[in-house]
Amino acid sequence: MSHESPSEPHPKNLNPDAAKVVPRQQDEDDPLDKVFEGIPLDEEKKETVIQRLELLQGQFSSPVPPPFIMREHGEVLSSAPERIFAMAERQAAHRQSLEQRVTKGADIRAYIGQGCALTVALVFGYFSYDLIRGGAEVAGAVLGTVDLVGLVSVFLVGRRRQSVEAQRRPLPPSQVEQEEQE
């Protein structure tokens, strides 16, 4: 349920009585001129009507519409507000269950990856030890060094990727509001 308006991207109060009159740029071929043709309105009243129309066209990013729209839905169908709230609750529960599954899957993949990395490191470490014990000290040392460098680089690349993803991820709305207040 998202409605967009170029003049008001995120109005906090969608009350049509609280509309602000902000002058807008007029085009020569403005379709609104045809709408108001023959209606006796001065420019200020015309702009007020246009602003209210744009405000009603505005945007809300909640699964539940603003109260004045809920009242209108309730006038059409008395159970509509309860049904809309129930729908929003079901959608939120569904989204939360999906997020839990994604998080659990990511954790499982991480543990499996760590287990595989440990197995590979132990196998290469054993071969390095076996080469050194068998008299091929240089080959064993090279294999052991490659093993350690590989483990450290994989660890560092993973950490860097996590920090890049954390920076790319948008902040939750509650954190955005807190940062704006500071």
Yes or no: say if 8 and 53 are a contact pair by the CB < 8 Å rule: no
Instruction: Note the pLDDT tens digit of each residue in 91-113.
Output: 999 999 999 999 999 989 988 98
pLDDT of residue 147: 87
C-alpha closest to that of 124 among 103, 101, 105, 140: 140
Instruction: Note the pLDDT tens digit of each residue in 30-68.
Output: 666 677 777 777 778 777 777 766 665 556 677 888 888
pTM: 0.46
Longest dimension (CA), the chain: 103
Rounded distance between C-alpha atoms, residue 84 and residue 65, angstroms: 9
Could you tell me the pLDDT band of residue 1, with boundaries at 50, 70 and 90?
very low
CA 176 to chain centre: 12
Q: What is the CA radius of gyration of the chain?
A: 31
Could you tell me the pLDDT band of residue 3, with boundaries at 50, 70 and 90?
very low
**Amino acid occupying residue 127:** F
Instruction: Note the pLDDT tens digit of each residue in 104-138.
Output: 999 899 889 888 888 888 898 899 999 999 999 99
Instruction: Note the pLDDT tens digit of each residue in 6-19.
Output: 443 344 444 444 44
Instruction: Note the pLDDT tens digit of each residue in 60-98.
Output: 677 888 888 888 889 999 999 999 999 999 999 999 999
